[in-house]
């Protein structure tokens, strides 16, 4: 074969090089005869430029002699193409000794916006799956207006290219089918019925461990039944529950379910104003914030699987939290669909780490109790102190650990520095995006642990998909959240709610067994987010993703103004609305700043004020917002705007880490100030408040660890109780 050759596909009418041979080939461009003619021109000796006119296409073949001179001649001819030969006019095609070119032509059923205008460039899906082949694809329309994909390739590539074009042009029904989880038979019973059945099977097994207090399944069901009989509640009622994390809270939640009512968890740590707002929105007639002795005689269990089991409130873009109503059958379906794969059973010990007002707790509590395990209550301060939490895991020989990636990062860092013997066989991540790369450190010390990343939403009952993270996935930094769990399904849709081809991005829509009944008292919002597409009810998540041809889903962030911070989904607009309700606020903007890792990520509000200070505004906002939603507040004379009058985020002040200042001598205050400056990435004085500087539980743990390295023995609780450097030193940290 001639050493140098170039093949072009002429897309539009352009002038051809002077002196070129023009030949008419009376056969279709993809016919065997056309292939032979093309191959003959590619293998002719000497320098030659030929235009081949087929009935349905035109090609330009340029060949040159072997050696540097021929290469230069070919480059000259190509460089001196007519000015009309733009990238939209010709397509370079591979020409080498791997055999003659072939053409695959396929009608595209859908035309993704980011592909339909592409001419002369490889389709992203092809490059994504076969980067070494770099096939050349042309997208065009035929005389009927149908969208055509034409792909040139070598014979050795044929099967691969056909498979890739099949993925691009798959029937929407095939794409939808690939996004469905395995079958999950209709779930049986209510949550409380399933717990009662477990108590009949293993009455003397430990159900709950709360400090030194152990409660068997028999005791759990008996106490909950007596408490239920004393409650003035029944089917159709919503009962608020505002209790600290404890065995008593689990008994109360179970008691509410036994009456046939649904529970509405209220976090005692949240501001009273926020709790009052939720109680009013939900129309709660009673809120349980203390429990008397359970003396009433048990009654028959009430309720059915279609009844609401709980209402959990999530952040709302209108400034008001919104209640998500979940029925019993969703929770039982979740456990029926995952128990076999994860091997849950009476041999397992789970931790209950998260607030009852966060739906991860639904998985932690009922996931354990419906499968016969024992749940260990993690005290508040233990959850914020990595060393104490690890001691709890070791003492109780915990096997199933559920964590947000932010929370797990503390344990991961501790285990990386000081490995220990743990019985944890399964770690399930949820609540926020997972960066898999740091997990190699855990696998180094605990290779026997199965790590699973689960994507989920409150509106779809905690979890939707599951992806096991092996060392390969960790090293690759995979964005995959896996395939749907049995009974759930996903698809990726465009703005018109049409299914997009495999590998292309759009909005993640979720269907199947986990969909909430509705938003409480929000009919319009319910109709906007819970929609019917092709006869199936789906939840439009607002999350960006893509579905691969193997049925795995990649999560690529949010499409709207919602962010995720340390396990919490937060509507930035809710924070902004709360700020704007203050009469002293003229204008406000709220963003998520992520200068480093999960610990240093923070919510920052930029405000224009009239008649108050930034600190006073923050204190007032904290009366309405839970701690994790209270932003740092910076006053500006005006918000920076773009030429279109929109907020110019790039012009907002950036918080930079101050120059590192080493403490002088053994002065404890100097050491504390140095550590605070390093961890909080800002200037700090002796009277600055930890929380006003953007402090959170993760940073508190890091500060404590860094101070211990400096010889100052303090706890996370000390930081919370003494939130200024001066007060912390006065609290009595001992070297």
Task: CATH number of the domain at 439, please.
Answer: 3.40.50.12780
pLDDT digits (tens, 9 = 90+) for 31-62: 777 777 777 777 776 677 888 888 877 777 77
Residue 575 maps to which CATH number? 3.30.300.30
> Which residues, in sequence order, are CB contacts of 490 under 8 Å at separation 6+?
179, 464, 465, 484, 508, 509, 510, 511, 545, 547, 553
Whether residues 549 and 601 fall in one domain: no
Most confident of 17-26, 358-367, 412-421, 688-697: 358-367
Q: In 3-state terms, what secondary structure has residue 397?
A: coil
Whether residues 167 and 220 fall in one domain: no
Whether residues 678 and 595 fall in one domain: no
Whether residues 577 and 689 fall in one domain: no
Q: Give the gyration radius of the chain's Cα atoms.
A: 31
Is residue 237 in a domain? Answer: yes
Looking at residue 155, its pLDDT comes to: 56
Whether residues 679 and 720 fall in one domain: yes
pLDDT digits (tens, 9 = 90+) for 571-623: 787 788 788 788 888 778 888 876 555 556 778 888 888 788 888 888 888 88
Is residue 565 in a domain? Answer: no
Whether residues 150 and 220 fall in one domain: no
Whether residues 163 and 199 fall in one domain: no
For the segment 552-575, the average pLDDT, to the nearest whole number, is 79
Is residue 183 in a domain? Answer: no
Specify the range with the lowest mean pLDDT, choosing from 5-14, 200-209, 332-341, 572-581.
5-14
| 3-state DSSP helix/strand/coil % of the chain, to nearest 5 | 30, 25, 45
With b for 16 or more beta-carbon neighbours within 10 A and e for fewer, the 464-496 pattern comes to bbbbebeeebbeeebbbbbbbbbbbbbbbbeee
Looking at residue 75, its pLDDT comes to: 58
How confident is the prediction for the chain on average, in pLDDT? 80
Looking at residue 87, its pLDDT comes to: 41
Is residue 235 in a domain? Answer: yes
70 has pLDDT over 60: no
| Alpha carbon separation from 633 to 606, 617, 677, 719 (Å, rounded) | 6, 8, 18, 21
- Dihedral sign from CA coordinates of 52, 53, 56, 62: positive
316 has pLDDT over 80: no
Is residue 583 in a domain? Answer: yes
Q: How many residues does the chain have?
A: 735
Residue 683 maps to which CATH number? 1.10.1200.10
Looking at residue 527, its pLDDT comes to: 96
Which of 172, 207, 226 corresponds to the end of one domain?
172
22 has pLDDT over 90: no
68 has pLDDT over 80: no
Whether residues 535 and 574 fall in one domain: no
Number of H helices, E strands in the chain: 23, 33
Binned at pLDDT 50, 70 and 90, residue 351 comes out as very high
Whether residues 437 and 493 fall in one domain: yes
Q: How far is CA 370 from the centre of its chain?
A: 26
Structural domain containing residue 575: 570-651
CA distance 195 to 564: 33
Which of 651, 682, 699 corresponds to the end of one domain?
651
Whether residues 226 and 349 fall in one domain: yes
> Which residues, in sequence order, are CB contacts of 301 under 8 Å at separation 6+?
190, 192, 193, 196, 225, 258
646 has pLDDT over 70: no
Q: In 3-state terms, what secondary structure has residue 588?
A: strand
Q: Which of the pair, 122 or 719, is modelled with greater confidence?
A: 719
Is residue 179 in a domain? Answer: no
CA distance 171 to 551: 14
pLDDT digits (tens, 9 = 90+) for 457-499: 999 999 999 999 999 998 888 889 999 999 999 999 988 898 9
Binned at pLDDT 50, 70 and 90, residue 153 comes out as low
Is residue 633 in a domain? Answer: yes
Whether residues 80 and 210 fall in one domain: no
What is the domain count for the chain?
4
pTM for the whole structure: 0.71
Whether residues 646 and 546 fall in one domain: no
Which of 172, 203, 227 corresponds to the end of one domain?
172
CB 105 within 8 A of CB 125: no
Specify the range with the lowest mean pLDDT, choosing from 188-197, 245-254, 306-315, 382-391.
382-391
Residue 499 DSSP label? B
Is residue 661 in a domain? Answer: no
């Amino acid at each position: 074969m001639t050493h140098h050759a170039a093949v072009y596909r002429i897309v539009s009418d352009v002038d051809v090089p002077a002196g070129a041979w023009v030949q008419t080939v009376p056969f279709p461009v993809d016919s065997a005869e056309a292939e032979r003619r093309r191959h003959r021109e590619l293998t002719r000796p000497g320098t030659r430029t030929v235009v081949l006119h087929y009935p349905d296409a035109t090609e330009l073949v340029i060949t040159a002699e072997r050696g540097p001179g021929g290469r230069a001649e070919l480059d000259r001819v190509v460089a001196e193409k007519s000015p009309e030969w733009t990238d939209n006019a010709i397509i370079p095609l591979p020409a080498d000794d791997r055999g003659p070119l072939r053409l695959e032509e396929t009608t595209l059923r859908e035309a993704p916006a980011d592909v339909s205008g592409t001419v002369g460039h490889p389709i992203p899906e092809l490059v994504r799956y076969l980067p070494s082949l770099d096939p050349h694809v042309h997208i065009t329309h035929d005389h009927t207006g149908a969208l055509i994909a034409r792909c040139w390739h070598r014979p050795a590539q044929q099967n691969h290219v056909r498979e890739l074009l099949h993925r691009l042009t798959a029937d929407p029904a095939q794409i939808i089918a690939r996004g469905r989880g395995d079958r999950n038979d209709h779930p049986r019973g209510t949550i409380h019925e399933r717990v009662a059945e477990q108590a009949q099977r293993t009455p003397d097994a430990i159900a709950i461990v709360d400090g030194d207090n152990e409660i068997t399944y028999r005791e759990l069901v008996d106490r909950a039944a007596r408490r239920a009989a004393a409650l003035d509640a029944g089917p159709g009622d919503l009962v608020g529950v505002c209790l600290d994390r404890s065995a008593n809270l689990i008994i109360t939640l179970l008691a509410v379910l036994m009456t046939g009512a649904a529970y509405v968890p209220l976090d005692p740590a949240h501001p009273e104003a926020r709790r009052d707002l939720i109680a009013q929105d939900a129309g709660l007639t009673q809120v349980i914030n203390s429990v008397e002795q359970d003396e009433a005689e048990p009654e028959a269990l009430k309720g059915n699987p279609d009844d609401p089991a709980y209402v959990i409130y999530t952040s709302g873009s209108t400034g008001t939290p919104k209640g998500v109503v979940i029925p019993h059958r969703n929770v039982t379906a979740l456990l029926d669909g995952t128990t076999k794969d994860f091997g849950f059973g009476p041999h397992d010990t789970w931790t209950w780490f998260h607030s009852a007002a966060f739906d991860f707790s639904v998985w932690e509590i009922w996931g354990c109790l419906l499968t016969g395990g024992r749940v260990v209550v993690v005290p508040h301060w233990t959850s914020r102190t990595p060393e104490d939490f690890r001691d709890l895991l070791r003492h109780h020989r915990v096997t199933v650990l559920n964590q947000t990636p932010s929370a797990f990062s503390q344990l991961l860092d501790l285990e990386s520095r000081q490995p220990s013997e743990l019985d944890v066989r399964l770690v399930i991540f949820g609540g926020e995006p997972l960066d898999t790369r740091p997990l190699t450190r855990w696998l180094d010390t605990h290779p026997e642990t199965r790590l699973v990343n689960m994507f989920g939403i409150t509106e779809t009952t905690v979890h939707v998909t599951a992806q096991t993270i092996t060392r390969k996935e960790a090293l690759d930094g995979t964005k995959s959240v896996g395939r749907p769990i049995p009974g759930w399904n996903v698809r990726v849709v465009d703005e018109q709610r049409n299914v997009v081809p495999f590998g292309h991005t759009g909005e993640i829509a979720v269907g199947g067994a986990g969909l909430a009944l509705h938003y409480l008292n929000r009919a319009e919002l319910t109709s906007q987010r819970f929609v019917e597409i092709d006869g199936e009810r789906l939840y439009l998540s607002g999350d960006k993703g893509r579905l691969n041809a193997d049925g795995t889903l990649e999560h690529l962030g949010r499409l709207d103004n919602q962010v995720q911070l340390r396990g919490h989904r937060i509507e930035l607009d809710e924070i902004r609305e709360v700020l704007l309700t203050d009469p002293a606020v003229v204008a406000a903007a709220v963003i998520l700043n992520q200068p480093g890792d999960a610990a240093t990520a923070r919510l920052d509000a930029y405000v224009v004020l009239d008649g108050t200070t930034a600190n006073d505004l923050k204190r007032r906002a904290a009366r309405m917002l839970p701690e994790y939603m209270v932003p740092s507040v910076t006053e500006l004379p005006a918000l920076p705007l773009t030429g279109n009058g929109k907020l110019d985020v790039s012009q907002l002040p950036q918080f930079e880490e101050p120059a590192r200042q080493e403490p002088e001598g053994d002065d404890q205050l100097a050491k504390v100030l140095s550590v605070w400056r390093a961890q909080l990435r800002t200037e700090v004085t002796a009277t600055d408040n930890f929380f006003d500087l953007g402090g959170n539980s993760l940073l508190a743990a890091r500060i404590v660890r860094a101070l211990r390295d400096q010889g100052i023995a303090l706890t996370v609780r000390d930081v919370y109780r003494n939130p200024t450097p001066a007060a912390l030193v006065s609290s009595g940290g001992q070297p």
